[in-house]
């Protein structure tokens, strides 16, 4: 039996807890949150004990693994402590707020001999899996370009206060929501990012970006366009994948559709339980890793997403395109936007 703990009993904790309850060799043993009532609301349906201090939970609850589900800048200290206590870790996205923190997490878990997996949920959502199946089947040929558009809401009061703190969240809509777009688009596109340009905007008087656009070229030449907009007229979350012999559109609202030779077919109809299913498949993957399996999503992919978001901030701040070096260093091309051909 794997004894699992959760740190952070906020918005997504219930998805993790309900997933644990469906896996036969997993027991949700303990939940920690600074707010005891939040910990209790996640723990009590499953009979788990509660804590307000995660170090006390690590010391007393006899855990094998922990899910870190807290504000982004806290992921580092919690992963380092978990590694020190010999616990395997599943960390919510984004992995951390700096690339250096990602590296420290990877190194600490490697040195301690524990598994580190990042919750890149896009790789487990049923409609995304359906799109990936079509791509892998080969009928549409190579991916040529991807357009990824997602709306969100970063108006004051729409989410917990820490999301508006650059120090705690590492950024705004692009770090939080754009990270999902990058996760799936880099996956569908099939290669890491080579170069990018970006534009970010702070509206509603909040200190982090509320809207942003990133134009990326992957190392295989695929072009990706990511746009995240706050408080848009219509709620949208759609990836459009343009391939040699057709297109795929993929959305949690309308499912996954394939268009080729003038005909459209649906390969995934959205279901109300799709999001919960994604969290379940993600946890199943994590538990397999504890049994010696390879994670579906590498920590390098998760680290790359943080690196790309931070490079986007740099590009937006300097109004200049960036090339990502093999080590991930983002180097300005030295051209200002108006000079780019």
Ligand X SMILES: NC(=O)c1ccc[n+]([C@@H]2O[C@H](COP(=O)([O-])OP(=O)(O)OC[C@H]3O[C@@H](n4cnc5c(N)ncnc54)[C@H](O)[C@@H]3O)[C@@H](O)[C@H]2O)c1
Residues that bind ligand X (CB under 6 A): 7-12, 32-35, 38, 54, 69-72, 74, 92-93, 119, 121, 160, 176
Please name which of 215, 221, 214, 194 lies closest in space to residue 326, comparing C-alpha atoms.
Answer: 194
Strand partners, 265: 258
Helices (H), the chain: 13-21, 36-43, 54-60, 75-84, 99-112, 126-137, 166-169, 173, 179-189, 274-290, 299-318
* Residue nearest ligand X by beta-carbon distance: 10
Minimal distance, residue 179 CB to ligand X, in Å: 8
CA dihedral of 306, 309, 312, 313, whole degrees rounded to 10:
-90
How many separate helices (H) and strands (E) can be counted in the chain? 11, 16
Minimal distance, residue 319 CB to ligand X, in Å: 28
Minimal distance, residue 111 CB to ligand X, in Å: 23
Minimal distance, residue 93 CB to ligand X, in Å: 6
Minimal distance, residue 33 CB to ligand X, in Å: 4
Q: Which is nearer to ligand X, 88 or 180 (CB)?
A: 180
Q: Which is nearer to ligand X, 9 or 226 (CB)?
A: 9
Q: Which is nearer to ligand X, 71 or 189 (CB)?
A: 71
Q: Which is nearer to ligand X, 81 or 257 (CB)?
A: 81
The SS3 call for residue 184 is helix
Q: Which is nearer to ligand X, 33 or 195 (CB)?
A: 33
Minimal distance, residue 306 CB to ligand X, in Å: 12
CA dihedral of 313, 314, 315, 316, whole degrees rounded to 10:
50
Q: How many CB atoms lie within 10 A of CB 100?
A: 10
Minimal distance, residue 91 CB to ligand X, in Å: 8
Q: Which is nearer to ligand X, 6 or 316 (CB)?
A: 6
How many residues can be counted in the chain? 341
**C-alpha–C-alpha distance, residues 189 and 187, integer Å:** 5
Residue 77 structure tokens: 């200290």
The SS3 call for residue 73 is helix
Minimal distance, residue 267 CB to ligand X, in Å: 22
Whether residue 16 contacts residue 69, with contact meaning beta carbons closer than 8 Å, is answered with yes
Q: Please classify residue 40 by burial: count the beta carbons closer than 10 Å to its beta carbon, then call 0-12 exposed, 13-18 middle and 19+ buried.
A: middle
Q: Which is nearer to ligand X, 160 or 190 (CB)?
A: 160
Whether residue 121 contacts residue 180, with contact meaning beta carbons closer than 8 Å, is answered with yes
Q: Which is nearer to ligand X, 132 or 282 (CB)?
A: 282
């Amino acid at each position: 039996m794997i004894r699992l703990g959760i740190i952070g009993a906020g918005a997504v904790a219930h998805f993790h807890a309900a997933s644990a309850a469906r896996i036969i060799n997993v027991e949700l043993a303990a939940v920690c949150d600074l707010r005891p009532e939040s910990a209790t609301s996640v723990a009590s349906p499953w009979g788990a004990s509660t804590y307000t201090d995660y170090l006390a939970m690590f010391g007393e609850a006899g855990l094998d693994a922990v899910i870190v589900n807290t504000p982004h800048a806290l992921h580092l200290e919690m992963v380092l402590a978990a590694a020190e206590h010999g616990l395997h870790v599943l960390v919510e996205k984004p992995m951390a707020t700096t690339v250096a923190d990602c590296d420290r997490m990877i190194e600490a878990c490697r040195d301690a001999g524990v598994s580190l997996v990042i919750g890149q949920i896009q790789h487990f959502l049923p409609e995304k899996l359906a799109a990936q199946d079509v791509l892998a089947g080969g009928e549409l040929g190579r991916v040529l370009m991807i357009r990824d558009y997602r709306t969100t809401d970063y108006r004051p009061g729409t989410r917990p206060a820490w999301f508006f703190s650059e120090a705690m969240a590492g950024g705004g809509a692009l770090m939080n929501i754009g990270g999902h777009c990058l996760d799936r688009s880099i996956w569908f596109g099939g290669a890491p990012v080579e170069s990018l340009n970006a534009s970010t905007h702070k509206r509603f008087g909040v200190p982090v970006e509320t809207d942003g656009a990133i134009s990326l070229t992957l190392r295989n030449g695929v072009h990706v366009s990511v746009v995240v907009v706050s408080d848009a007229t219509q709620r949208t979350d759609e990836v459009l994948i343009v391939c040699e012999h057709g297109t795929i559109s993929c959305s949690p609202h309308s499912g996954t559709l394939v268009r080729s030779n003038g005909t459209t077919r649906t390969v995934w109809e959205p279901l109300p339980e799709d999001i919960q299913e994604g969290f379940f498949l993600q946890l199943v993957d994590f538990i397999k890793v504890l049994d010696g399996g390879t994670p579906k999503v590498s920590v390098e992919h998760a680290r790359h997403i943080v690196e790309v978001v931070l490079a986007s901030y740099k590009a937006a701040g300097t109004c200049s395109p960036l090339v990502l070096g093999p080590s991930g260093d983002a180097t300005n091309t030295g051209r200002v936007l108006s000079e780019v051909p």
